[in-house]
Structure 1
């Protein structure tokens, strides 16, 4: 491609044939070393940008990104569906509704329908302790807008 440049070879090719002695070539290559380092940094940034563009908010892609960045060897990070329990209401006497509640479990406010989370990220406890900020950044970067999530340690 046009961006793959070997500056050491280019230095030798651009020198006149009379000046192609080892000391002159080494001096010219030393002068181009900062440009070569800058080119290397640009190639690394370009590769990182292509990685970000290739991955989306799909569950399989998000799981792959999280495992690539945070748990590359064991790949223990998984993604599951969020819970959506229906709400149960207690009625007053004036409403003339039944008062029997049956078995009633207390749930947190984000576990009910239309108020809860859309997906859950199950992460090993050591990753939650050591890299919670990077985990939150990656999830927020790749998830779809408007989707809510919760991180659960396993």
Structure 2
């Protein structure tokens, strides 16, 4: 059950209803409307922030939702941004001839918290962005990449790593 109508307030109508009938003159209503203008402005900001919060809560870090959020933000018309999982490579394995049990290869140079030799470049997924978004101006390109990374980092899972690739 949703309560979308709970937050709908018509300030001028409420103001007219509160006033006694002998004070309901156009000048008085305009004067009091000017007095409640800061409250109306805060109400409008609240509604925008409420809608933004509902949008953020309704989307999570799954690939389809993240892809939808990126397309909504950056490529709403053509929706060409897509996300693919990285192709996993087989881990290097050593076999003991006598016991015939599989033993994983340990290399101390690799990160102890995350075994990244099983993925390509340590990334879990790749975000493919059309080449049209690659602006020749470095400042605009950096601005776009910062906004893109901020959106991805907000929605992705903490332990996931990603790569951004430009596509034709």
- For normalisation by structure 1, the TM-score amounts to 0.79
Q: How does 1:4-23 map to 2 (within 5 A)?
A: 4-23=8-27
Secondary structure (helix, strand or coil) at the match of 1:152 reads strand
In 1, distance between residues paired with 2:6 and 2:71?
33
Where in structure 1 do 4 or more consecutive aligned residues deviate above 6 Å? none
- Normalized per residue, the structure richer in strand is 2
Report the counterpart of residue 37 of structure 1 in structure 2: 41
For the pair 1:63 / 2:67, whether they are aligned, the reply is: yes
Q: Which is helix-richer, 1 or 2?
A: 1
Higher mean alpha-carbon deviation, 20-29 vs 125-134, is at 125-134
Superposed, 1:63-102 pairs within 5 Å as 63-86=67-90
**Deviations along 1:100-142, whole A, 9 cap, x unmatched?**
xxxxxxxxxxx84156211000001243544111110011110
TM-score, normalised to structure 2, is 0.73
2:118 aligned with 1:113 = yes
Whether 2:152 is the aligned partner of 1:146: answer: no
- Structure 2 match to 1:134: 147
Cα deviation, residue 44, structure 1? 0.2
The alignment covers a number of residue pairs equal to 133
1:123 aligns with 2:136: no
d(CA) in 1 for partners of 2:38, 2:14: 14
Question: How far apart are the structure 1 equivalents of 2:43 and 2:14?
Answer: 14
In structure 2, runs of 5+ residues without a counterpart are 94-115, 136-140
Q: Is the 8 A contact 1:83 1:117 kept in 2?
A: no
Q: What SS does the aligned partner of 1:39 have?
A: helix
Q: Do the aligned partners of 1:62 and 1:142 also contact (CA within 8 Å) in 2?
A: yes
CA distance in 2 between counterparts of 1:65 and 1:44 reads 17
Cα distance in 2, alignment partners of residues 128 and 122 from structure 1: 12
